[in-house]
Chain A
């Protein structure tokens, strides 16, 4: 059964219990009442039979006494002797009326009726009287019940002696309703007298029962009676009667019985009243119980309902309303727990919503919150018709920095950047946010794109000052993109995403800050498609191997080349690796590109070796972090070299500091194997990463490549010169060769040479060129190098 409320359930369960108990009690009481009533009826019937017999005996005695008085009366005897019929008659009548007998008769000794008094018309049954007299003569007197004219009579016969028997006095009562009624008054039993003649059924005219019930009774008594008088139950007119059949006589064809009966329903009537009272009590009890249990359950459930309401309030976000707690019981405990929960949830929600709109680390608004601010600013700007701008700044190489200095320090760095931004911004209406990672954003109200670009530049300048984290000074660069309302977008989201596109464009082009341009949109879309197109690019030979020569700064001799890649896109033309290598690294295609490079270089060198019949210059191939964690890489390289009949010295490998940091253990393992195979290893972009010198010590490297950012600036910046010098010294002290990248003029070359730098590469020597042009260039370089060298020597 389903209940919608606890109240109903409690009430139902207990009400059911009480009703079941009452019902069982009722059944038990009813059963024992029935049993007791029947037992007492049986007793009554037995007693009733005795009383019935006693009554008959009393009647007989009364009759007998009267008859005997008459019979012994001297005068009566004299009258009989003298056959004085008239006197006899009057004497009979006198005695008959004295005891209210129904019949009084006198018979002479021959059995002739001499006189009678009382009821007449019994002559026709003289045979029965004769028989009665014969019986009396045999026994001296008689007391029998005889049916005369269909009416039962209790007859007493006494002799008239003078002193021998001279006649018989017969006196009798009729057995009629009067007797039955008096018997009923004595015994409370219904009495019926039934007579049966021959094979006819039972008949009765004498009964305390109603006519209809009597009729039923005569039908239900079997013609042949059971031998033993037994109490039985007879149903008459829908009511049961405990019945006892008393044999009165059975002679010849005629039988007579008395049926004593007690109505069971009548006997149980007092108990029915009791039962009714019990029922009323049960109903009253149930009502009281229902009310009581309703009140009790209400007392239980009302606080529950109130608690449920409180929980609903909590659900709706109302944490301010306290849950009312009155009781000290379990429900009170629940309420108190709910209250504690409410407070805890309120605090936590506050915290969560802060998290949702706030950046914990830098204590700046996050992206979601920032977008709301932008939207609000746009709404204001729309009203005031004033522009606003959004800057998005992303730190360069933050990942590498993070890897080197550790995440905790990285977080410290981000915090400091945030502090610096907040502290040093001079624009009046601005708001700084952090989008996660190393991306910051600044909202500038009432600022056009052009003004914002100035701000962006000042931000970049702010970052130029190194930041100290854990006693480490860190140089930072960043790319900033900016977009303005209403020039570039009308919605907050679009404005922000366009500023981000501009930022990506800034980062890929190397420019410090850019205003959004619609072409940025295009290029960013391109970037996305690159990764999928790269696969087909490899298969359809859209990639091309380029080489940039590497020379000995002292002699100008070409000592090798760096292998570079270009993408001849069928639609977009030549694409530089900066535009697709980052995506290849992200999408995992970098391995394929590296393999392509290795195969291409091996093929090129094999061809060279075959055509020129001499060893090709050592070609350096860049490996990514993903390549270094591939423990099959040495095998693959070995296979390619062997296939092209190349020695292991034909190629060298360039790795960046950061590529080792992803999984230094495996990377070091791979590098050791490659080094043992005889391949030379260079650290690319040395100086931009944050590798510790202890790593450098353990790495099996042969060469350091100084990043071109130091080289290109060395003419203007003394610091860069010092960095290069110390790097060269460091390299040499560790037994390594030092290569400078980005040599763009003779002065730099000379300066580097003077600083002791071993090798160099750069536009001044040669731009990267398609591999098949390399041999021609080499020939012309060798020739001009001699001339230049000579010229230079001459100048010197």
Chain B
């Protein structure tokens, strides 16, 4: 199975490389701030192309548990991606999600669970640990290969985008309106700039270490 997945991965990489070489590549530099202009970290920014094409294979992700925290706090994955939950703590964790996007439960374990969790539905999943209430992680499952997270300066770069029109979507876990995703249309010709302002519940912000 691993060899097969690896094979897909390689295919995918090759495909992207090919595609980028095939089409004229563009990029979107997105700045995400709150309403007062403060940069927002961990905002998931993704661009959905207007003409939906079957996406390639989704890259796997890993959400480790260390120091009774999920790291990273926010993970963006493409639909169908598998996520592993290595437990690097000495205590056990009971990872669960009651989110409709993906409901699962990894009952008390330590080390790496036997199987990664496949997130096969677009949406947002909120992950928690039944043992440690304060542990929280967000997984945004997007239907596009063009996604990324803002850095500490609120900057994110969607690179290697084929030119064309896109729906630029921005989501942040602390938005006031629950599960609100900012959407704006953008035509990528070259290096595009986009600024996104989000109404943030300041007290919901989790400071990442």
What residues on A are CB-neighbors of B98 within 8 Å?
A: 77-78, 80-82, 162, 166
Category for how many chain B residues contact A:
10 to 19
A-contacting residues, B103-157, CB 8 Å: 103, 126-130, 133-136
Q: A163-B136, A164-B136, A166-B98 are in contact. Are A74 and B130 (CB under 8 A)?
A: yes
Interface string of B79-104 (1 = CB under 8 A from A): 00000000000000000101000010
What residues on A are CB-neighbors of B178 within 8 Å?
A: 109
B-contacting residues, A154-197, CB 8 Å: 161-164, 166
**A136 → chain B closest CB, angstroms:** 14
B-contacting residues, A79-94, CB 8 Å: 80-82
A-contacting residues, B30-51, CB 8 Å: none
What residues on B are CB-neighbors of A78 within 8 Å?
A: 98
> Nearest CB to that of A73 among chain B residues?
B130
Q: A77-B98, A109-B178 are in contact. Are A163 and B103 (CB under 8 A)?
A: no
**A608 → chain B closest CB, angstroms:** 175
Cα separation A72 to B96 with both chains bound (whole Å):
13
> Nearest CB to that of B100 among chain A residues?
A81
Cα separation A236 to B128 with both chains bound (whole Å):
59
**A85 → chain B closest CB, angstroms:** 16
**B202 → chain A closest CB, angstroms:** 12
What residues on B are CB-neighbors of A162 within 8 Å?
A: 96, 98, 126, 128
Cα separation A163 to B137 with both chains bound (whole Å):
9
Q: A81-B103, A166-B98 are in contact. Are A161 and B130 (CB under 8 A)?
A: no
> Nearest CB to that of A81 among chain B residues?
B98
**Contact between A161 and B103, CB atoms less than 8 A apart:** no
A-contacting residues, B133-188, CB 8 Å: 133-136, 178
**Contact between A72 and B103, CB atoms less than 8 A apart:** no
What residues on B are CB-neighbors of A77 within 8 Å?
A: 98
**A340 → chain B closest CB, angstroms:** 117
Q: A77-B98, A81-B98 are in contact. Are A164 and B130 (CB under 8 A)?
A: no
What residues on B are CB-neighbors of A161 within 8 Å?
A: 128, 133
Cα separation A582 to B24 with both chains bound (whole Å):
197
> Nearest CB to that of B128 among chain A residues?
A163
What residues on B are CB-neighbors of A72 within 8 Å?
A: 133
Interface string of B5-17 (1 = CB under 8 A from A): 0000000000000
Interface string of B58-96 (1 = CB under 8 A from A): 000000000000000000000000000000000000001
Cα separation A766 to B173 with both chains bound (whole Å):
191
B-contacting residues, A107-164, CB 8 Å: 109, 161-164
Among B130, B136, B178, the one with the most A-chain Cβ atoms within 10 Å of its Cβ is B130
B126 touches which of A74, A80, A109, A164 (Cβ 8 Å): A164
What residues on A are CB-neighbors of B130 within 8 Å?
A: 74
**A621 → chain B closest CB, angstroms:** 163
Cα separation A677 to B116 with both chains bound (whole Å):
191
> Nearest CB to that of A164 among chain B residues?
B126
Cα separation A163 to B95 with both chains bound (whole Å):
10
Cα separation A476 to B129 with both chains bound (whole Å):
171
Cα separation A179 to B159 with both chains bound (whole Å):
67
Cα separation A372 to B55 with both chains bound (whole Å):
179
Cα separation A82 to B127 with both chains bound (whole Å):
16
Cα separation A77 to B103 with both chains bound (whole Å):
13
> Nearest CB to that of A138 among chain B residues?
B203
What residues on A are CB-neighbors of B135 within 8 Å?
A: 163
What residues on B are CB-neighbors of A164 within 8 Å?
A: 126, 136
Cα separation A340 to B135 with both chains bound (whole Å):
124
Cα separation A732 to B206 with both chains bound (whole Å):
181
What residues on A are CB-neighbors of B128 within 8 Å?
A: 161-163
What residues on B are CB-neighbors of A82 within 8 Å?
A: 98
Cα separation A162 to B96 with both chains bound (whole Å):
9
Cα separation A81 to B178 with both chains bound (whole Å):
16
B-contacting residues, A751-793, CB 8 Å: none
**A366 → chain B closest CB, angstroms:** 142
> Nearest CB to that of B136 among chain A residues?
A163
Cα separation A80 to B96 with both chains bound (whole Å):
14
Cα separation A78 to B134 with both chains bound (whole Å):
17
**B81 → chain A closest CB, angstroms:** 22
What residues on A are CB-neighbors of B136 within 8 Å?
A: 163-164
Among A72, A162, A163, A166, the one with the most B-chain Cβ atoms within 10 Å of its Cβ is A163
B-contacting residues, A218-266, CB 8 Å: none
Cα separation A164 to B103 with both chains bound (whole Å):
14
Cα separation A161 to B135 with both chains bound (whole Å):
11
> Nearest CB to that of B103 among chain A residues?
A81
Interface residues of B (CB under 8 A from A): 96, 98, 103, 126-130, 133-136, 178
Besides the contacts A161-B133, A164-B136, what 5 more A-B pairs have beta carbons closer than 8 Å?
A72-B133, A74-B96, A74-B130, A163-B134, A163-B135
- 21 inter-chain pairs at a CB distance below 8 angstroms, sorted by A residue, are A74-B96, A74-B130, A78-B98, A80-B98, A81-B98, A81-B103, A109-B178, A161-B128, A161-B133, A162-B96, A162-B98, A162-B126, A163-B126, A163-B127, A163-B128, A163-B129, A163-B133, A163-B134, A163-B135, A164-B136, A166-B98
Interface residues of A (CB under 8 A from B): 72, 74, 77-78, 80-82, 109, 161-164, 166
Nearest 7 A-B pairs (CB), nearest first?
A163-B128, A81-B98, A163-B136, A162-B98, A164-B126, A74-B130, A162-B128
